[in-house]
């Protein structure tokens, strides 16, 4: 009787241990990715600097998305929400993706930088 | 006399051939224009993108719009939790609308239901409602032959 009880206890302990170790397959359950040190601040800085002039360009957006992609899920969502809130609140104008970042090059002969060629003549 | 008859017959055949050609062109031309077409938005808004309680737009109409403002864009960002082992990770979407006056709207979501809808957008019409915190509350994707594709 006592032997049987002992056997049952041993079997239960073994079952518990086997279950515990087989349930923990490596790679199956991974802790959520954490924010790398300074990554949240970097994304926040890009958002603040980019939005400072009231516009949000495609270049700023690309840099922001890259910074945000390094964050964990919660922080990524928080940063993207912060951008969306500014956009929806009318604090940010989105520039078209193909907006020229630099003046287009002259097609023919460029006037000198200090030229008055493009200035309308007075009294005409 | 026989020569005259032959000429008349030949002339008649040409007329029949031209008529058949004209009918053929009409049928082909007609079939190219057939089928119900629809603007992305119902009157009175017009345009391709409308912002309001629900933001609505289709990629094809936004691209074909005559101004350079209107935009419908959805970014899908997929991540892996673990840099070494492949894991299910997570996905975030961000959708952006700009109307013909340059007014923007943006929402983000990590809801699998919203992501599934947005992933199916193609040239369909997308209607999204926003929460005040910048999240997408709902995403409706309407596929219809009425909506034009993104060309060119």
Instruction: Give whole-number Cα distances, B148 to A70, B30, B74, in Å.
Output: 37, 18, 18
Nearest CA in chain A to B111: A77
Question: Does B149 lie at the interface with A, CB-CB under 8 angstroms?
Answer: no
Question: Does B95 lie at the interface with A, CB-CB under 8 angstroms?
Answer: no
Q: pLDDT by residue (tens digit) across A47-71?
A: 999 999 999 999 999 999 999 999 9
Question: Does B106 lie at the interface with A, CB-CB under 8 angstroms?
Answer: yes
Taking Cα atoms as reference points, which of A92, A80, A87 lies closest to residue A52?
Answer: A92
Chain B environment of A98 (Cβ under 8 Å): 68
Query: Domain boundaries in chain B?
Result: 1-34, 49-142
Q: Which one of B134, B136, B137 would you mutate to disrupt binding with A, by most A Cβ within 10 Å of its Cβ?
A: B134
pLDDT per residue of chain A (124 residues) written in tens, 0 to 9: 677 877 787 877 777 666 655 554 555 556 678 889 999 999 999 999 999 999 999 999 999 999 999 999 999 999 999 999 999 988 899 986 654 445 555 555 555 655 554 444 444 3
Q: pLDDT by residue (tens digit) across B15-31?
A: 766 666 665 555 555 44
Cβ neighbour number for residue B16 with a 10 Å cutoff: 10
The answer to pTM > 0.80 is no
Cβ neighbour number for residue B126 with a 10 Å cutoff: 26
Question: Does B104 lie at the interface with A, CB-CB under 8 angstroms?
Answer: yes
Cβ neighbour number for residue A62 with a 10 Å cutoff: 11
- Are residues B110 and A27, on separate chains, in Cβ contact within 8 Å? no
Instruction: Give whole-number Cα distances, B26 to A37, B13, B23, B32, B36, in Å.
Output: 69, 20, 5, 10, 18
- Are residues A27 and B133, on separate chains, in Cβ contact within 8 Å? no
Sort strands A55-56 and A93-94 into parallel, antiparallel or unpaired: parallel
Whether the complex's predicted ipTM is more than 0.85 is answered with no
Which of B77, B81, B98 has the CB atom closest to A94's CB atom? B98
Instruction: Give whole-number Cα distances, B14 to B9, B19, B20, B22, B73, in Å.
Output: 9, 8, 10, 12, 55
- Are residues B106 and A96, on separate chains, in Cβ contact within 8 Å? no
- Per-residue DSSP letters for A73-105? HHHHHHHHHHHHHHHHTTS-EEPPTT--SSPPP
- Are residues B85 and A88, on separate chains, in Cβ contact within 8 Å? no
């Amino acid at each position: 009787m006592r032997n049987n009880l002992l056997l049952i206890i041993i079997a239960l302990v073994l079952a518990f241990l086997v279950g515990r170790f087989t349930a923990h397959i490596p790679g199956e359950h991974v802790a959520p990715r954490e924010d790398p040190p300074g990554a949240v601040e970097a994304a926040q800085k890009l958002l603040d600097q980019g939005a400072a002039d009231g516009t949000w360009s495609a270049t700023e957006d690309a840099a922001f998305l890259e910074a945000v992609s390094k964050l964990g899920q919660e922080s990524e969502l928080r940063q993207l929400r912060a951008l969306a809130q500014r956009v929806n609140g009318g604090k940010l104008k989105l520039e078209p993706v193909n907006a020229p970042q630099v003046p287009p090059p002259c097609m023919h002969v460029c006037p000198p930088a200090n030229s008055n060629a493009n200035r309308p003549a007075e009294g005409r | 006399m026989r020569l005259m008859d032959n000429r008349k017959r030949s002339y008649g055949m040409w007329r029949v051939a031209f008529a058949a050609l004209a009918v053929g062109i009409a049928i082909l031309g007609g079939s190219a224009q057939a089928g119900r077409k629809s603007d992305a938005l119902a009157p009175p808004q017009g345009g391709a993108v409308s912002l309001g309680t629900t933001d609505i737009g289709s990629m094809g109409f936004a691209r074909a719009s005559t101004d350079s403002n209107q935009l419908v864009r959805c970014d899908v960002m997929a991540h892996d939790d673990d840099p070494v082992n492949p894991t299910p990770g997570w996905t975030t979407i961000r959708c952006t609308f700009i109307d013909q006056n340059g007014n923007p709207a943006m929402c983000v979501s990590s809801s699998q239901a919203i992501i599934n809808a947005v992933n199916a957008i193609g040239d369909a019409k997308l209607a999204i409602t926003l929460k005040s915190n910048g999240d997408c509350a709902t995403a409706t994707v309407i596929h219809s032959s009425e909506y034009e594709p993104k060309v060119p």
